Amino acid sequence: MPVAQPAPPPASQLPPEAYRQAVDQADLAISITDPQANILFANEAFTRVTGYGCDEIVGCNESVLSNHTTPPETYRALWSNLAAQRPWSGRLLNRRKDGSLYLAELSISPVVDERGRTTHFLGMHRDITELHRLERVVRNQKELIESVIDAAPMAFALLDPNGRIVLDNQEYKKLVTDLRVSEPAHALLDGLLPEWRDALATQPERCAFASRETRFDRPAGRPRWLSVTSSVIAMHSDCADSYFCAAGQPGLLLVISDVSNLREEQERARAAVLQAVLAEEERTAAIREGLSAALFRLEEPMNVMASAIAVLQRRDPGSARMLQDALSASREHMETLRQVIPQSPQEIVVRVNINEILRDVLEVSTPRLLAAGIVVDWRPAATLPPVLGRPLQLRMLFKALVDNAIEAMNVKGWKRRELTLVSAVDADCIIVSVLDTGPGIPPEWRLKAFEPFFTAKNGSGRHIGTGLSRAQQVVADHGGIIDLDDSPGGGCAAIVEFRVDGDPI
Ligand code: FAD
């Protein structure tokens, strides 16, 4: 037969001795006082913490523990809470029996009898000197790190796994005002690593890179070149549910330095070279297009000759033969001519920042713009994702559009002369608008203008009408589209759209 186990006694039947032993042996300094804080009882831990034996402390006032350096307002708060029968907790500076000091974290609760009178106080405290020292070390280190970071000439931003900025410095705060973007770190990452948000959540190591440069264009003032280094660091969560989880979450530390001065110098030298390259390419293009136009126009009389030969064949075969020989010789010469047409140089496809291309074009066009008295309004997107493209062709494209705008406005007596150049990002597209305040382009010409050898300009002989058809070819080669429209300023708007993921042919 199984032996029946005795049921555990209900809590009310817990022997008073058990209470006493529990309090006595607790690992927390416990004292019980009368309403004037005279000690009636102190446990073993109290002796360990204060150095006072139980026999010598009973009968003393709790104030024997005071070092008399705790601010009086702390005691006032303590006693006013206790007087209102509310518990109180706080930190006091105590002195042990041997005179050594310790920081006590104390909690006092009033003991109230059935008539609502405070009969005793229960005090519980522990020595938190070491904890306080560690807290101070951490705080000092944090302040030290913050002042070093603040004094550093580069900007720092620490992003948590959700991309929130959890730490930054003075230089970073300056970037917010200088660049006029709410979160420069996000704008930089969007430009340098468009997929950074997903990568940070799934494969944080993909977010690490060193010294990548990006350029911030501002409507007014110089552009800023920033060099960014991104490192992945483990961050430990301070949420309770992460207490037993050792692994840290990835955070991103961005170190951003301004390399504008260096890059400006390089840019000046590059612009000079670029000017020469563009001039040479323009000259070659003019020869190429001049010859192509001549050959194109020669086709017409050739065709007339061919028809005449067909008619003469029966009536006057001798003349027909002569004419045929002349036609064949002409065709041969035309073929020779076709072969000497200079070809455009083969460029390799690279990652291109369209803002840089546009700025190059403005720089190269500045003398013409100034000479024509045209005011330029340059409104770049703060950052643009890179596109794959051929830089020289793209420069030629936008230069052709800017040249068209200049010519449209540089007419004797024309008053409003404003060129607006805008770059913007819309979904997966980069949109560039070249807007002028010239006479505009009639709707019936907007499609024809892209046909080879179409020109609305007469007389000067400089215009053979291949600029826009060449521009359209370059845009198409880059997987984009180009359109002509009315400009809000009353003139013509040339809109070029590239897909960010567009593949150039
Ligand atoms: P005062 O605060 O002016 O104290 C003078 C005396 O009057 C003391 O005996 C004090 O206990 C008593 N007293 C002051 N205000 C009241 C009041 N409103 N009602 C009844 N008596 C009052 N202090 C420490 O520094 N360290 C401790 O670890 C500590 N532990 C405590 C534990 C308990 C359970 C209680 C109730 C109090 C404790 N105190 C402690 C507070 C302590 O009693 C003194 O108030 C404090 O030390 C300041 O003493 P004082 O002599 O500098 O000045």
Reported as a single tens digit per residue, the pLDDT across 100-130 is 999 999 999 999 999 999 999 999 999 999 9
Same domain for 326 and 270: yes
Number of structural domains in the chain: 4
Domain harbouring 199, CATH code: 3.30.450.20
Give the residue, out of 33, 75, 101, with the most ligand 1 atoms within 8 A of its beta carbon, to mutate for a pocket test.
75
Q: Any idea what the CATH number is for the domain that residue 417 is in?
A: 3.30.565.10
Ligand 1 site residues, Cβ closer than 6 angstroms = 31, 33, 36-37, 61-63, 65-66, 68, 70, 75, 79, 83, 92, 94, 104, 106, 108, 121, 123, 125
Evaluate if residue 252 carries a pLDDT over 50: yes
226/210 same-domain check: yes
Q: Are 98 and 107 contacting, i.e. CB atoms less than 8 angstroms apart?
A: no
Contact between 454 and 465 under an 8 Å Cβ cutoff? The reply is: yes
Which residues have CB under 8 Å from 266's CB, separation 6+? none
pLDDT tens-digit map of 365-380: 988 999 999 999 999 9
Tokens (6 digits) for 470: 């060449």
Ligand 1 atom, smallest distance to 125 CA? 28
Q: How confident is the model at residue 220 (pLDDT cuts 50, 70, 90)?
A: low
- Whether 74 and 177 map to the same domain: the answer is no
Atom of ligand 1 nearest to the CA of 32: 34
Which pLDDT belongs to residue 459?
45
Closest ligand 1 atom, residue 66 Cα? 25
DSSP code per residue over 71-126: -HHHHHHHHHHHHTT--EEEEEEEE-TTS-EEEEEEEEEEEE-TTS-EEEEEEEEE
Task: Report pTM.
Answer: 0.54
Measured CA to CA, the distance from residue 296 to residue 52 in angstroms comes to: 113
Amino acid (one-letter) located at 22: A
Could you tell me if 381 and 397 lie in one domain?
yes
Position 138 in a domain: no
Final residue belonging to a domain, choices 226, 258, 290: 258
Whether residue 139 is contained in a domain is answered as no
Above pLDDT 90, what percent of the chain?
Answer: 54
Check residue 162 and give its pLDDT: 87
* Residue 242 located in a structural domain: no
301 vs 307: CA distance, rounded Å: 10
**Concatenated DSSP letters for 123-156?**
EEEEE-HHHHHHHHHHHHHHHHHHHHHHHSSSEE
pLDDT 10s digits, 340-355: 888 777 788 999 999 9
Residue that terminates a domain, selected from 203, 223, 258: 258
What's the 33 CA to ligand 1 centre distance in angstroms?
11
- For ligand 1, the distance from its centroid to the CA atom of residue 63, given in whole angstroms, is 5
Task: Determine whether 351 is exposed, middle or buried from the number of CB atoms within 10 Å of its CB (0-12, 13-18, 19+).
Answer: exposed
- The runs of H, that is alpha helices, within 316-353 are 317-339
241 within domain boundaries: no
Tell me, yes or no, whether 354 and 490 share the same domain. yes
Same domain, 276 and 254: no
Pocket test for ligand 1, best of 61, 62, 89, 119 (most atoms within 8 A of CB): 62
Structural domain range at position 319? 261-343
Euclidean distance between CA atoms 139 and 147, whole angstroms: 12
Helices (H), 161-259: 170-179, 184-192, 196-202
Residue 143 domain-assigned (yes or no): no
Q: What is the CA radius of gyration of the chain?
A: 42
Do 265 and 254 share a structural domain? no
Q: Residue 119 domain-assigned?
A: yes
Over range 194-198, report the average pLDDT. Answer: 90
In the reported structure, the alpha carbon of residue 26 is separated from the centroid of ligand 1 by a whole-number distance in angstroms of 23
18 CA to centre of ligand 1 in angstroms = 30
Confidence grade of residue 465 (pLDDT, cut at 50, 70, 90): low
DSSP structural state of residue 169:
-
**Domain assignment present for 76:** yes
**Cα(78) to centroid of ligand 1, in Å?**
8
